[in-house]
Structure 1
Amino acid sequence: MNVIITGISGFVGQNLSKYLEEQNCNITGLSLRNYWKLAKDNSAIIHLAGKAHDTANISTDEEYFKINTDLTKKLFDEFLDSDIDDFIYFSSVKATADTIEGILDEEHFSDPKTPYGKSKLLAEQYLLSKDLPVDKRLFIIRPCMIHGPGNKGNLNLLYKIVEKGIPWPLAAFENQRSFLSIDNLSFLIFEILKTKNVQSGIYNFADDDFISTNQLIKIISNASGKTSRLWSVPVGFISFTAKVGDKIKFPLNSERLKKLTESYAVSNKKIKSALKITELPVSAEEGLIKTIKSFQSK
């Protein structure tokens, strides 16, 4: 199986390409920065390249739409004119909702509030608006927070807090979150590629279990050999501190507080049903432990 991957040098691209190669796929990276043309004799294209959500809020709106929307349109048009069978577009759960009550599924009405989410949704809408030839498939993947060895972000921040013995001051916030290990992501993509009767459509990617941030702190502590220290500082005080962090350089701002404490539970039932599987190979806790242990070797 010959597979083209855009964004192959990124965290997901590196891990996914390695996994697919282990499954005897031939992988070619495609840079969208210069002139390009899709090569023949490929089975699928996986479009990972994009402008990630900028938590520092320094990116312009135009950057998101130019990269996430316009480049995706161009690539998809090339795909429609090619002999390639499958187009897999990596969107985001944030293309449908920035916050969610209950459990997010693929039927949720999409109403993103950020330029990032809006740019992803516009790309989705364009792809779905096109007539798809009967011999081609289109998959719009909406992953939640992806993690794994070598990944940076809030998990690394939480690890450093626990590793230094700093108490976790946000224990008063109760939430349920979905995560996605890079191992489960790679497994699902390969299963889609090889299972030809899976129908085109939008699919959420998430681990099977929901994890609260307080649970996550305990998992990190156990994996690190540390004692978890959970402090229930009043929510009002924490929220005020985050607002101060919006105005001055401070480790906690409103965007980061939201990411650390909000509930965002994502259903993966649709993709598991399509693939006729009951559970993913790696549990949410196992995946998190693997990621956390990778921090210790640095």
Structure 2
Amino acid sequence: MRITITGASGFVGKNLSSFLENKECQIESLSLRNSWTLDSSADAIIHLAGKAHDTKNISIEKEYFEVNTELTKKLFENFLNSSVKDFFYFSSVKATADSVEGFLDENHASDPKTPYGKSKLEAEKFLLNKELPKNKRLFIIRPCMIHGPGNKGNLNLLYKFVQKGIPYPLAAFENKRSFLSIDNLNFLILEMLSNKNVGSGIYNFADDEVLSTNELVKLIANTSGKKEKLWKISSKLISATAKMGDVMKLPLNSERLKKLTENYWVSNQKIKNALGIDQLPVSASEGLEKTIKSFK
């Protein structure tokens, strides 16, 4: 199977490319930075390239739309005029909701608040509004927070926090969050490529289980041989401190506080039903342990 991947140099791109190559797929990396041509002999294109969500909130809004929306439109038009059969667009759960009550499934009415989410949703709408030939498939993938060895982000920041023996001060916030192991992401993509009965549409990607941030702190401590330390400081005081961080550019700002303490439970039932599977190969705890061990 010949597969073209954009954004192949990123965390997901590197892992997915390596995984698929080990499954005897032929991978071609396509850069969209300058002039480019889509390989019509490919069986599928996986569009990972995009501008990521900026937690520091310093990015210019139009940059999100130039990269996440306009480049996607151009690539999809090329796909429609080619003999490539499958198009995977990696969107985000943030394209539909910045916060969630209950769990998030694909039927949720989309109302993103950030330029990142809006740019992703606008690209989704464009793709869905185009007439798709009967011999082609379009998959809009909405992953939640992806992690794995080699990934730097909020998990790594939390790991360093625990390693230094600093008590976790946000234990007063009770939440449930979904995560996505890179191993489960790779598994799902290969299954979708191989199973021609999976229909076009929007699919959430998430691990089967949800964890609270407090449970995650405990998991980090236990995995790295540290004593878990959780402090239940007033949530109102913490929220006020985060707002000060927005102004003073401190490590804890409102965006990071939200990522660490919000409820964000993502349902993966639709893709499991489409593939006819009961559970993913890696549990949430197993995937997170693997990521945590890679930080050492």
- Tell me the residue number matched to 2:261: 261
1:85 — aligned with what?
85
2:146 aligned partner: 146
SS in 2 for 1:226: coil
Q: Does 1:183 align with 2:183?
A: yes
What is the alpha-carbon distance in structure 2 between the residues aligned to residue 98 and residue 118 of structure 1? 11
Listed as ranges, the matches of 1:97-246 within 5 Å are 97-246=97-246
Question: Which letter maps to 1:173?
Answer: F
Alignment of 1:267-282 (within 5 A): 267-282=267-282
Distance in 2 between the 1:243 and 1:119 partners?
26
Query: CA offset at residue 271 of structure 1?
Result: 0.2
C-alpha displacement of 1:250 = 1.3
Instruction: Spell out structure 1 runs of 4+ moving beyond 6 A.
Output: none
Shift of 1:37: 1.3
**CA–CA separation in structure 1 for the residues paired with 2:41 and 2:293:** 40
Q: Give the Cα separation in 1 of the matches to 2:244 and 2:60.
A: 23
Shift of 1:36: 1.1
Secondary structure of 1:4's aligned partner:
strand
Instruction: Give per-residue Cα distances to partners, 1:174-221, cap 9 Å, x unaligned.
Output: 000000000000000000000001000000000000000000001000
Structure 2: distance between partners of 1:144 and 1:193: 20
Letter of the structure 2 residue corresponding to residue 236 of structure 1? K
Counterparts of 1:249 and 1:255, CA distance in 2: 11
Matched, 1:291 2:291: yes
Aligned to 1:64: 64
State the TM-score, normalizing by the size of structure 1. 0.99
> Structure 1: how far apart are the matches of 2:110 and 2:217?
31
Q: Deviations over 1:27-79 (max 9, x none)?
A: 00000011111112110000000000001111111000000000000000000
Residue identity opposite 2:5 in structure 1: I
In structure 1, distance between residues paired with 2:241 and 2:114: 23
Distance 2:247 2:37 in 1: 45
Corresponding residue SS for 1:178: strand
Give the aligned length. 296
- Alpha-carbon distance in 2 for matches of 1:165, 1:56: 26
Aligned partner letter, 2:238: I
Deviations 1:91-124 (CA, angstroms, capped at 9, x unpaired): 0000000011000000000000100000000000
Percent of residue pairs identical: 70
2:210 aligned counterpart, secondary structure: coil
In structure 2, list runs of 5 or more residues that go unmatched. none
TM-score, normalization by structure 2: 0.99
